[in-house]
């Protein structure tokens, strides 16, 4: 058997560089790296030598550069991924939050944190976590609960099994998620005689699993028996490239579709059978259909509490639940009748079983009434002296958008408002990380989207709270000349949680700067801050100025930041449903007592549903 002598780090990089997609592209599109002791000498040397075969990008923060890698994979519907490497200790632990984000959202990313010496000769090394009762534990054990596959590489030859397992996990639609290969630093530099066959190019096909025909027939029977079915479209519709299948299915059988945060844009907003966003941040049209539904058909959804209104939304006493999902774990949730398989193939097979079936259309006028209620909220303000609302900012961005625009966000006020108000024209036009709703994902995520689809017009919507939490990759975007637009809405604190605090009877406390224990109210110049990192930045004083600034974005190369002050209190009053947030059972505040009674009533209604 022919062999080649390489270090373990060199072998890892060489192997990853020849793993291919069906489109003859490298599956691993690059590596984000911050070097330190634990990865600079081993992986750093190997990545430098690899050059363009596995390009290395330098980030500013381990968590945010991982967010970029994750957003890249999400925008490309999990068909490609990136690697992220760090030093040991704090560098590695900074990535754990990003690993959790990828795990919750079922997104592929390869984490390669450096680790301690396998030999244990120099223990304890700088930044080493020592477990007094377990000598095998390191800081990287924190990755175990947030990785779909975890391995610690303590011998070079471990890679012969670990790397194929990593690739299998990232390309398996049912098991897809983050992989962590904790790479001991002395092992990275150790040489081994590798079989040359290990480095032969390999194509990884994203499987489209066929469901069991017994399950298909059972679900078809349930749909035929239903009078008021509804389809809940989740992120799996996008990952399985099933948007066209879903549209054809809904239109043929006249079944209304509602969209989760991950599923939004599965159908164009103006499609007759798209009844809008569902759940806590949902439209009245979508939620009305769900309340009346006697059969709820989940397609690629995890049935998160924001989707189900903490399981209070589906009020029909005769309601049954079907879950079409590639993952058996999700297909069996909450006693659902499972249809375990690829979303597109499952819908096609159901289509064959339902010939001649037509559902009873929902009540007429639901969509028209919804848009009549909310469209005025996004109009330009008539009072020039009032601070604009987030809804008015969204309206300005919507008017400036086009079919190739991708609007993206993750946390704070904007996810709920965008879910309700944004009109997505086609699949992929809406990118929301709401599985983990991680503050700080936004700017890094926008970079990942633009790297994945350079032709798209990417607009990042972010509040001042999320911007303050993680903004350093703005410098990375400027250094690399990555072009996207960021609209920062400055409501001077955490406006979203402030409203939740008030809604549960609490006093305004520690969310807006005005109600925090601070000596001096901050006057943060976000435009100057972004400009200092290399962005083109401007502060606007009105929605009209915002629209004028947005109109200039096509002439600007690199990151473009527009800052606008907004009112922290208004939110869209229409639509929505209950969300269970525990209210204190004992309090001196009358407002809390009232909120607790309301909470107990809602819990009882759900229990009796």
Q: If 0-12 CB within 10 Å is exposed, 13-18 middle and 19+ buried, where does residue 364 land?
A: exposed
Would you say the CATH fold of 375-565 matches that of 213-364? Answer: yes
pLDDT of residue 385: 83
467 by Cβ neighbours in 10 Å (0-12 / 13-18 / 19+) ranks as: buried
**Cα 80 from Cα 186, distance rounded (Å):** 30
The pairing of strands 3-7 and 191-195 is antiparallel
Contact status, residue 530 vs residue 485, Cβ threshold 8 Å? no
Residue 609 pLDDT more than 60? no
Angle at the Cα of 502 (from 498 to 503), degrees rounded to 5? 115
pLDDT value for 384: 78
- Rounded percentage of the chain residues whose pLDDT exceeds 70: 100
Helix axes 366-374, 284-292, angle to 10 degrees: 150
Say how far apart CA 253 and CA 426 lie, in whole Å. 21
Confidence bin at 192 (pLDDT 50/70/90): very high
Judge contact between 206 and 173, C-beta under 8 A. Answer: yes
Residue with tokens 């007429």: 364
Report the alpha-carbon distance of residue 295 to residue 336 in Å, rounded. 10
CA distance 454 to 509: 42
Q: Between 1 and 373, whose confidence is greater?
A: 373
Q: Is 536 helix (H, G, I), strand (E, B) or coil?
A: strand
pLDDT (average), residues 119-144: 95
Average pLDDT of 466-484?
97
pLDDT for 608 equals 59
Which pTM was predicted? 0.97
The CATH classification number of 375-565 equals 3.40.50.970
The distance of Cα 108 from the centroid of its chain, to the nearest Å, equals 12
* Distance from C-alpha of 65 to C-alpha of 444, rounded to nearest angstrom: 6
- Show the tokens assigned to 491: 């409501």
Q: How many CB atoms lie within 10 A of CB 579?
A: 17
**What is the chain's mean pLDDT, rounded?**
97
Contact present, 313 and 291 (Cβ < 8 Å): yes
Q: Helix and strand tally (H, E) in the chain?
A: 24, 22
Give me the residue spans of the domains in the chain: 3-203, 213-364, 375-565
CA distance 28 to 31: 8
Question: 22-67: per-residue pLDDT in tens?
Answer: 999 999 999 999 999 999 999 999 999 999 999 999 999 999 999 9
pLDDT score of 521: 85
Looking at residue 339, what is its pLDDT? 98
Residues in the chain: 609
Mean pLDDT of 310-319: 96
CATH C-level class of 3-203: alpha beta
Average confidence (pLDDT) over 205-227: 97
Average pLDDT over residues 498-506: 97
Tokens of 161: 């099994």
Q: What is the mean pLDDT of residues 358-368?
A: 95
Please compute the mean of the pLDDT values over residues 107-111 and round it to a whole number. Answer: 98
How far is the C-alpha of 42 from the C-alpha of 183, rounded, in Å? 10
Bridge partner list, 340: 325
Query: Would you call 503 exposed, middle or buried from its count of C-beta atoms within 10 A (0-12, 13-18, 19+)?
Result: middle
Model pLDDT for residues 520-532, shown as the tens digit of each residue:
988 999 999 999 9
Give the pLDDT confidence score for residue 606 in this predicted structure. Answer: 85
pLDDT, residue 231, reads: 98
Give residues with Cβ within 8 angstroms of 290, minimum separation 6.
230, 232, 258, 278, 296, 313, 314
Radius of gyration (C-alpha) of the chain in whole angstroms: 25
CB contact at 8 A, 166 and 159: no
Question: Could you tell me which CATH class the domain 213-364 is placed in?
Answer: alpha beta
DSSP state of 519: S
Q: How far apart are CA 491 and CA 512, in angstroms?
A: 8
In contact, 336 and 233? CB cutoff 8 Å? no
Does residue 607 carry a pLDDT above 80?
Answer: no
Given a contact cutoff of 8 angstroms between Cβ atoms, the answer to whether 293 and 251 are in contact is: no
Mean pLDDT of 523-547: 97
Cβ–Cβ < 8 Å for 127, 101 = no
């Amino acid at each position: 058997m022919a062999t080649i002598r390489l270090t373990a780090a060199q072998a890892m990089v060489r192997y990853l560089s020849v793993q291919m997609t069906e489109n003859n592209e490298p599956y691993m599109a690059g590596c984000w790296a911050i070097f330190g002791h634990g990865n600079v000498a081993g992986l750093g040397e190997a990545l430098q030598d690899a050059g363009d075969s596995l390009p290395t990008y330098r980030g500013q923060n381990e968590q945010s550069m991982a967010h970029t890698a994750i957003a890249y994979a999400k925008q490309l519907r999990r068909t490609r991924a990136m690697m992220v490497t760090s030093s040991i200790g704090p560098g590695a632990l900074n990535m754990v939050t990003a690993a959790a984000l990828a795990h919750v959202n079922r997104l592929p990313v390869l984490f390669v944190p450096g680790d301690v010496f396998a030999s244990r000769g120099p223990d304890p090394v700088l930044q080493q976590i020592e477990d007094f009762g377990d000598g095998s534990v390191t800081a990287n054990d924190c990755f175990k609960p947030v990785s779909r596959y975890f391995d610690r590489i303590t011998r070079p030859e471990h890679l012969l099994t670990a790397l194929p397992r990593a690739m299998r996990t990232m390309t398996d639609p049912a098991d897809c998620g983050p992989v962590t290969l904790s790479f001991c630093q002395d092992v990275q530099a150790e040489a081994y005689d590798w079989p040359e066959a290990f480095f032969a190019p390999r194509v990884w096909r994203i499987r489209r699993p066929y469901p069991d025909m017994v399950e298909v027939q059972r679900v078809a029977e349930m749909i035929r028996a239903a009078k008021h079915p509804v389809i809940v479209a989740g992120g799996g519709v996008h990952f399985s490239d099933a948007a066209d299948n879903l549209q054809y299915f809904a239109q043929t059988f006249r079944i209304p579709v509602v969209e989760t945060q991950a599923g939004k844009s599965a159908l164009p907003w103006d499609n007759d059978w798209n009844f809008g966003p569902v759940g806590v941040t949902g439209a009245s049209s979508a939620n009305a259909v769900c309340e009346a539904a006697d059969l709820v058909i989940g397609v690629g959804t995890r049935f998160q509490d924001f989707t189900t209104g903490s399981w209070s939304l589906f009020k029909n006493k005769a309601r049954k639940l079907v879950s079409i999902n590639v993952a058996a774990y999700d297909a069996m949730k909450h006693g659902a009748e499972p249809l375990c398989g690829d979303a597109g193939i499952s819908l096609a097979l159901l289509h064959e079983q339902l010939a001649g079936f037509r559902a009873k259309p929902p009540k007429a006028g639901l969509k028209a009434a919804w848009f009549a209620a909310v469209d005025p909220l996004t109009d330009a303000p008539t009072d020039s002296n009032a601070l604009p609302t987030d809804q008015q900012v969204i309206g300005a961005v919507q008017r400036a958008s086009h079919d190739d625009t991708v609007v993206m966000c993750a946390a704070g006020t904007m996810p709920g408002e965008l879910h309700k108000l944004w009109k997505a024209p086609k699949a992929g036009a809406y990118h929301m990380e709401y599985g983990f709703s991680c503050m700080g994902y936004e700017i890094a995520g926008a970079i990942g989207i633009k790297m994945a689809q350079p032709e798209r017009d990417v607009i990042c919507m972010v509040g001042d709270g999320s911007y303050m939490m993680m903004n350093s990759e703005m410098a990375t975007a400027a250094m690399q000349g990555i072009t996207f637009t960021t609209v920062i809405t400055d409501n001077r604190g955490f406006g979203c949680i402030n409203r939740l605090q008030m809604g549960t009877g609490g006093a305004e406390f520690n969310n807006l700067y005005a109600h925090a224990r601070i000596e001096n109210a901050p006057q943060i110049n976000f435009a100057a801050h972004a400009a200092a990192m290399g962005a083109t930045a401007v502060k606007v004083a009105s929605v009209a100025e915002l629209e004028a600034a947005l109109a200039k974005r096509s002439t600007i190369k690199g990151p473009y930041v527009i800052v606008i002050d907004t009112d922290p209190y208004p939110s869209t009053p229409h639509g929505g449903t209950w969300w269970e947030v525990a209210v204190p059972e004992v309090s001196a505040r009358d407002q809390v007592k009232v909120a607790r009674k309301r909470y107990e009533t809602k819990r009882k209604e759900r229990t009796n549903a």
